[in-house]
Every structure is written in structure tokens, then in C-alpha cells.
Amino acid sequence: MNSNDYFASLLGDTTGGKSARRTTVVTQGTIAKVRQEQAADAFAAEREEMLAAQAALKDELDAQREACELLARDLALAREELASSREEFAAAQDATMKSMAAMSVGNAAKDDEIARLKDLLQEAQRTSLSSSVLLEKPPAFSEKFHGEAREHVLAALASAREAAEAAGRDRRARILEAVLGANPPSGELDRRREATLQILKDAGGFLDDRTISDLEKLGFRYVSGKNHHKLEWAGIRFPAAKTPSDRRSCLNTASEISNRVF
């Protein structure tokens, strides 16, 4: 197709230029103008597409910016709530520690008061018999533990009451029963007897360092011997096996101590 035919088709000529009733002269200026208009239309279309794309991109960026701002606000609120929760937890923990400390002090005070009342009770029990002028412990007599003499006297009175009842001595039995009723034992003598028997029973065939230490806490004194241990209670001594031997050894020692000491 030559240039005339091409521009003829652009101007609406569908006959290919063979049967046109009039002839249009197409100059180079017309061609340039048409091309310029086509280029302008194409540029305008591209510009509109570009502007539309920019508008869509701007909308998307605005939406993302808004979402980021919302996330930032949520994050700030979450941080504030976390900080508040940490402060509340710290305050609660501090209050708990103070409460526990107060409870500990209170329990210690209660324990001290209980110990004091026990001491007062033991002292009252110890002095009740002498206050009735029924007996008086000599001041120079030493005890292995507080109230030892009184406990032995009460134990002897209990045995005497049983003997009086067995022998038919009713009056003596009633008097002894009244005295015992007014002067209950503290139980310390029985406690030390049972503890001693248990320690020696657990020791087995001989006394080791731990057993000796436990006996010393009850009031015994350890005396080192050449072939045997010796345990002493208020001047009363008991030999004990120094090396592993018959299991009955410690049991025999326990029985002897129970009879001679308690």
C-alpha cells in the first residue's frame, strides 16, 4: 500500500482509491499532523493509565499507613498494659513477701510464747510439791535436766501407790493418789528414757560417733576407754562395745541404762 492509499483509508476511503469520486491530496504535513495526533492520543491514554495506577498505589499506601498507625496504637496500648501488669505483679509480690515476713515473725513470737508457757508450766509442776511442803529438793543437789529429781520422786510415788494397792493399804494408796493427782509429771523422764532406748536400738552392735552425739544431747557424757566406750550419767557409768559385736550388746546396755538411770 502506498502512502496515498494508507492515508485514504485513514480518511474513510474503503475502495482502495480505485473508484473514489473525489481525490484528496495528502501532503507530508497532513501525515505529520495525523501522526502527531495519534501520538498525543497514545500518550494521553498512557498518562491516564499511569495516573490511575498512581491513584490506586496511593490508596493502597494510605490503607497500609492507616493499618500501621492502628498497629502502632495497639502496640503502645499493649506496652502500657504490660507495664501496668508488671507494676501490679511487683506490688502483689512485695505485699506477699511482707505478709510472709509478718507471718514468720508472728509464728516466731508464738513459738517463743509457747516455749515460755511450757517453761512456766514445768516450773509450776516442779514447785507445786514443795509449795505444799510435802518435799523439798536440797539446793546443792545437781540435776541432769530441769525437774529430774521431782520426776523420780513422782515415779517412786506412783510405784508406791501400786504397791500399797496390792498390799491392801488403802489409806496410803489414797494419799499417794491424791498427791500424784495434784502433781502431774512433766513426762521428761519418760521421754528421755524412750529416746535413749530408741537410739541404742538403732545403733545395732556398737556405738558410732553419731550415736554417741545423740546420747550426749540427752545428757550422757562419753568417756573414751581402751577397749570399750563408757557412758556416764550423773556419775553412773556404763560400758559399751567399741567395735561391731553381738546386736544384743547395745540392747543390754539400753536395758541397764533404763534400770539404773531412769
- List all residues 6 or more positions away from 182 whose beta carbon is below 8 Å from its beta carbon: 128, 129, 132
Q: Are 48 and 136 within one domain?
A: no
What would the mean pLDDT of 240-261 be, rounded to a whole number? 76
The boundaries of the domain holding residue 161 are 132-182
**Is 123 among the domain residues?**
no
Q: Are 139 and 208 within one domain?
A: no
Element (H, E) at 6: helix 3-10
Strand bridging mode 221-224 / 228-233: antiparallel
**Is 247 among the domain residues?**
yes
Chain CA centroid to CA 141, Å: 50
Tell me, what's the pLDDT at 12?
A: 54
Question: What is the overall mean pLDDT for the chain?
Answer: 81
Three-state DSSP state, 1: coil
Residue 109 CA to residue 18 CA, distance in Å, equals 128
Between 97-111, 117-131, 228-242, the lowest mean confidence (pLDDT) is in: 117-131
Tell me, what's the pLDDT at 102?
A: 79
**Is 46 among the domain residues?**
yes
Whether pLDDT at 131 is above 50: no
Tell me, what's the pLDDT at 65?
A: 86
How many domains in the chain?
3
Compute CA distances 223 → 79, 202, 218, 219, whole Å.
72, 21, 15, 13
Three-state DSSP state, 168: coil
What would the mean pLDDT of 157-167 be, rounded to a whole number? 94
Q: Which one of 25-29, 90-94, 185-189 scores highest in mean pLDDT? A: 185-189
- List all residues 6 or more positions away from 184 whose beta carbon is below 8 Å from its beta carbon: 125
pTM listed for this prediction: 0.47
pLDDT band at 129 (very low <50, low <70, confident <90, very high): very low
Residue 55 CA to residue 103 CA, distance in Å, equals 71
Q: Are 155 and 219 within one domain?
A: no
Q: How many residues in total does the chain contain? A: 262
pLDDT band at 170 (very low <50, low <70, confident <90, very high): very high
**Is 119 among the domain residues?**
no
Residue 7 CA to residue 32 CA, distance in Å, equals 11
**Is 197 among the domain residues?**
yes
Tell me, what's the pLDDT at 107?
A: 81
Beta bridge partners of 253: none
Tell me, what's the pLDDT at 188?
A: 93
What would the mean pLDDT of 210-232 be, rounded to a whole number? 85
* pLDDT tens per residue across span 37-70: 888 888 888 888 898 888 888 888 888 888 888 8
**Is 249 among the domain residues?**
yes
